[in-house]
Structure 1
């Protein structure tokens, strides 16, 4: 079983403020577990979120030198 992280730990891991993971939970954009009144987020859910929202760079081919007309 994954370690369950607090909202503060997730924010620290993502390098954001606490409001961002709270918004992710509120909008149901990340998996979370309710433990009584507390919200916990599994480590794998954070990793999955980062993987799903990672944008790979586009590699442009060099066009060479163009001559002016």
Structure 2
């Protein structure tokens, strides 16, 4: 992996505030989801910091997309 690849990959990482804004929720909600496992939303721990890959968020949203009113 080149330094350019590393820089590009780091731009793809969102902190909790940016992720909450992207998903139209709150950072506290993300904390609850992580601690309870309510949603299988992939995240990365870097020390005490939590980061989310933008690509993972998009895939997660696509999996949750429904074409009918059915919730199952």
> Equivalent residue for 2:54?
43
Larger-gyration structure (1/2): 1
Stretches of structure 1 that go unaligned for 5 or more consecutive residues are 59-69
Report how many residues are paired: 58
**Is the partner of 1:19 in helix, strand or coil?**
helix
TM-score by length of 2: 0.67
Stretches of structure 2 that go unaligned for 5 or more consecutive residues are 1-8
RMSD of aligned alpha carbons:
1.9
> Equivalent residue for 1:54?
65
TM-score by length of 1: 0.69
Q: Which runs of 4+ in 1 moved over 6 A?
A: none
